[in-house]
Amino acid sequence: MENISLLLEGFQVALTWHNIAFMFLGVLLGIVVGVLPGLGGPNGVAILLPLTFGMDPTSAIILLTSIYWGALFGGAITAVLFNIPGEPWSVATTFDGYPMAQQGRAGEALTAAFTASFVGAIAGVVLITFLAPLVAKFALRFGPAEFFAVFFLTFCSFIGMGKENKAKIVVSLSLGFLLAAVGIDTISGDMRMTFGVGELMSGFDFLVVVIGMFGVSEILLTLEEGLEFKGKKARIDPIVVFRTWMQMPLYFMTFVRSCLAGIWLGISPGGAVAASFMGYGLAKRFSKRGKNFGNGEIEGVIAPETAAHAAGTSALLPMLALGIPGSATAAVLLGGLMIWGLQPGPLLFVEQKDFVWGLIASMYLGNIVGLFVVLATVPLFASIMRIPFALIAPVILMVCAIGAFTVANSSFDIWLMLIFGAVGYAFKKLDYPLAPMVLALVLGDRAEDAFRQALIGSAGDLSVFMDNGLVASLMIIAFALLLWSPVSDLIGKLLRRPVVAAGE
């Protein structure tokens, strides 16, 4: 009951005229971000983060999370109408969404996608409402060793459970740790790896790095690919909306399975992309019409959208409760909170109750706003897709440069942004994941501080990381996740090995 009363107080914070205006603005900006394949949720939030510097933290985070909700909704528009995923997690939506559009059922497909997105996101917010305070209270028992164990668990799970090449994940993480170490050592006060460059005394600014790695690199890739948008026009008729909504109860179990899969992969570092494919696969496996998936089945649109948005929202749970982002967008939001002077983690629920519960309340409201805004503006944003990207790219690049310059009013940061844009471009061309690097950049110095503080307290004795049941359990789980993939692959090879008959 305490959570409910705190949530009601949060609605009082969120339901002010200026915060509601920021919700609408954020959702509209987010839909643009989701519709344009050259951007995306993490990129859009990173590029637009400097706009919030002069705002109070509550309004700023409401604006940024609303951009995120809009991007989550907007990715489905391009997937259904143009067979081009506006977001990586919209790939599975194209399998049945685009065939439905070709059959003249674009309105039905889009309504199903937006409704599924809303249901998945609300499931994730409900989880945050009731679970985040419990996780935060539990985490108040943590000391330096326990916090390092949690960070170590996060890094190991990215390596062990990530779908990308393990060596490439390790390289990406290592680069993030290297970048996080540049500047003044927070414990000893020594300068590290500045090479006489005064601008690097405070290290690489998180915002400059992510604008370059995500925003600039995506622009370069999209220009290289020379995308041309040709697709179906769409106008969503209210009758189609209500008729589609009447069908939704028939897919109750699909919603449940996809929500559970999305929540699990959102809290763990599986991510929205993996969740969308898992949701689609589960639906195809259990549906009576599974053999017809890929030919325009509405269930094939509902499942991936529900799972992806449940994962995207659930990823904010570890960010708020533990200060550990569950996705690239959560990592960008984590950096934003730090810029505003807030420290994500268990103490946030104690010291900044109004902020936390105002944010959680805005998640409910933002998704409601997003659902109705996106239903009303599909024709407008579909027409944006027909503008040549070569005309839009310079505008986006200019916004990126302004955002990088705004951080410290330094032209040096613009050059850094371009350098990291080139690095991000190379990473994507070579198929190196960016999310682990962002994670290590955000958490690297905190993990190092926790590790060193734990060793200082134990006089250098490494047994401090097995000192009690909590930290020992976290470390054991971390190593289990790290070794999960090679051990499971080895077991699979042994099971597939042909049995040699005796005497041969």
pLDDT, tens digit (0-9, with 9 covering 90-100), for 284-301: 878 787 778 878 888 888
Instruction: State pLDDT tens for residues 448-486.
Output: 888 888 888 888 888 888 887 878 888 888 888 788 767
For CA atoms 71, 308, 489, 285, give the dihedral sign: negative
**Assign residue 104 a region: left if phi > 0, alpha if psi is -120 to 50, beta otherwise?**
left
How far apart, in whole angstroms, are the C-alpha atoms of residue 208 and residue 416?
Answer: 7
- How do residues 134-164 score in pLDDT, each as one tens digit? 777 776 677 788 878 877 877 887 777 666 6
- SS3 percent helix, strand, coil of the chain, rounded to 5, is 80, 0, 20
Amino acid identity of 494? L
191 strand-pairing partners: 184
Kindly compute the dihedral angle of the four CA atoms of residues 422, 162, 331, 255, in this order, to the nearest 10 degrees: 120
Domain boundaries, the chain: 1-487
Tokens read off for 346: 């268990």
DSSP reduced 3-state for 142: coil
Lowest mean pLDDT among 102-111, 121-130, 180-189, 228-237: 228-237
Report pLDDT for 348. 75
Cβ contacts of 170 within 8 Å, gap of 6 or more: 159
The residue behind tokens 């004795």 is 461
Which of the four pLDDT bands, split at 50, 70 and 90, describes residue 201? Answer: confident
What is the DSSP secondary-structure string of 95-126? Answer: HHHHHHHHTT-HHHHHHHHHHHHHHHHHHHHH
Phi first, then psi: what are they for 192, rounded to 5°? -130, 125
Residue appearing with tokens 């730090």: 338
**d(Cα 90, Cα 112) in Å, to the nearest integer?**
13
pTM value?
A: 0.66
> Which range has the top average pLDDT, 216-225, 342-351, 355-364?
355-364
* Nearest 10 degrees: Cα torsion 167, 170, 171, 175: 180
Q: How far apart are CA 306 and CA 258, in angstroms?
A: 6
Torsion of CA 86, 87, 88, 94, to 10 degrees: -50
The residues pairing with 178 across neighbouring beta strands, listed in sequence order, are: none
- Count other Cβ atoms within 10 Å, centred on residue 296: 20
Predicted local confidence at residue 471, as pLDDT = 84
Name the average pLDDT for the chain.
77
3-state secondary structure 68-94: HHHHHHHHHHHHHHHCCCCCHHHHHHH
> Mind listing the pLDDT tens digit for each residue in 382-426?
555 556 666 767 877 776 787 677 666 778 888 888 898 898 888
Strand partners, 394: none
| 111, amino acid identity | T
Beta pairing class for 191-192 and 183-184: antiparallel
Tell whether the model's pLDDT for residue 304 goes beyond 80: yes
